[in-house]
Amino acid sequence: MPERIYNFSPGPGTLPYSVLQEAAVDIVNFKDKGIGLIELSHRSKEFMAVAEETENLIRELMGIPANYKVLFLQGGASSQFFMVPMNLLKADQKATYLNTGVWAKKAIKEAKLFGQVEVAYSSEDITFKRVPRDDEYTVAPDSQYLYFVTNNTIYGTQFPTMPNKEAMLIADMSSDILSRPVDVSKFGLIFAGAQKNMGPAGVTVVIIREDLLDRVDDKVPTMLKYKTHAEKDSMFNTPPCFSIYCVGRVMNWLKQTGGVAAIEKLNREKAALLYEVIDSTEFYRGHAEKESRSLMNVAFNLPTPELEAQFIREATAVGLDGLKGHRSVGGCRASIYNAFPREGVEKLVTFMADFAKKNG
């Protein structure tokens, strides 16, 4: 393996090195067939097998019930902000949203184009440093769905458990899908951009309960109907072949690693190491409230912006890359998705303790 830096980027993020190696070989000569992976027709039997295997692995790892479709779409997770209400909400209908960060807020803005939106909870006035408990908001009985973001990438907050409400759940799981077990049957729809826990950018995975496919209005353009893609197994048009292939390899890696329950254990250990060093000094301040802390993105501040800049500079110089916080909140953020190695977290923790000692 060439010397690799530790990549704490929030996404696209670290992928398993074994997957990069597999892809490097297959791009040039796919399974020794004398043709490169990204030259294959999406309708070739070779690629159809890749897509099928990818879907089956996602189904197996997440325990997706048979009455759900798994779709591979384009346009980023951001396109789901409008596709969800465009397919599932009529002008005279209501949907409930939880405003726990920029990605939720963008989804709220789009939903308002299609129907009535009730924002049942917002932590915007406290820089999104927490997510709500179930007893902090209500969902109107006539609400079509409850929309929330399971993990708020920018602020390092995460729902410790899924909302337990009398409502169909719809979740943006872009930054924590497959990081812990989830009961898919509680959801009408789950979506995630692949570029954090699943693979490279370019494909958005949508998991949708079949009975919802028919809710869509005829006037919705063909490409923007979930039904179109569901009926053609995501082959209505050319899908993002390379990204789908990579997702398949990452799923295979995850399965070999022991699956979702095993990776959750690892994720908890990695995050605990970081929160421990944050809590053990006055020097670092975690952004999220303790009950809302994310296992995927650890956002923290140092005493001054100058020290934060110095911290990022010095960390980068020793191969700890991508620690700058999102431009909207500043500070630092360590994104430690599924494929991020524990040794990288340990190296950061040692660096943080040393830095605090020298500069505190």
Q: Which residues bind ligand PMP (CB under 6 A)?
A: 11, 76-78, 103, 149, 153, 172, 174-175, 193
Least distance in Å: CB of 79 to ligand PMP? 7
Q: Report whether the peptide linkage leading into residue 16 is cis, meaning its omega lies within 30 degrees of zero.
A: no
Least distance in Å: CB of 197 to ligand PMP? 11
Residue closer to ligand PMP by CB (options 68, 148) is 148
Candidates 69, 129, 196, 227; catalytic one: 196
Q: What is the 3-state secondary structure (H, E, C) of the chain?
A: CCCCCEECCCCCCCCCHHHHHHHHHHHHCHHHCCCCHHHCCCCCHHHHHHHHHHHHHHHHHHCCCCCEEEEEECCHHHHHHHHHHHHHCCCCCEEEEEECCHHHHHHHHHHCCCCEEEEEEECHHHCCCCCCCHHHCCCCCCEEEEEEECEECCCCEECCCCCCCCCCEEEECCCCCCCCCCCHHHEEEEEEECCCCCCCCCCEEEEEEHHHHHHCCCCCCHHHCHHHHHHCCCCCCCCCHHHHHHHHHHHHHHHHHCHHHHHHHHHHHHHHHHHHHHHCCCCCEECCCHHHECCCEEEEECCCHHHHHHHHHHHHHCCEECCECCCCCCCEEEECCCCCCHHHHHHHHHHHHHHHHHHC
> Closest residue to ligand PMP, Cβ-based?
76
Mark whether 253 is an active-site residue.
Answer: no
- Do 260 and 62 contact (CB within 8 A), yes or no? yes
Residue closer to ligand PMP by CB (options 302, 324) is 324
Least distance in Å: CB of 236 to ligand PMP? 20
Structure tokens at 56: 């089956």
Residue closer to ligand PMP by CB (options 159, 351) is 159
List, as residue ranges, the binding site. 43, 77-78, 103, 153, 172, 195, 237-238
Nearest to 351 by CA among 303, 326, 315: 315
Mark whether 103 is an active-site residue.
Answer: yes
Residue closer to ligand PMP by CB (options 18, 78) is 78
List, as residue ranges, the binding site for L-glutamate. 43
Candidates 26, 103, 176, 227; catalytic one: 103
Mark whether 214 is an active-site residue.
Answer: no
Least distance in Å: CB of 32 to ligand PMP? 34
Least distance in Å: CB of 320 to ligand PMP? 21
What is the number of residues in the chain? 360
Residue closer to ligand PMP by CB (options 153, 351) is 153
List, as residue ranges, the binding site for pyridoxal 5'-phosphate. 77-78, 103, 153, 172, 195, 237-238
Candidates 26, 69, 172, 225; catalytic one: 172
Least distance in Å: CB of 322 to ligand PMP? 13
Cα 360 from Cα 356, distance rounded (Å): 5
Residue closer to ligand PMP by CB (options 103, 283) is 103
Active site residues: 103, 172, 196
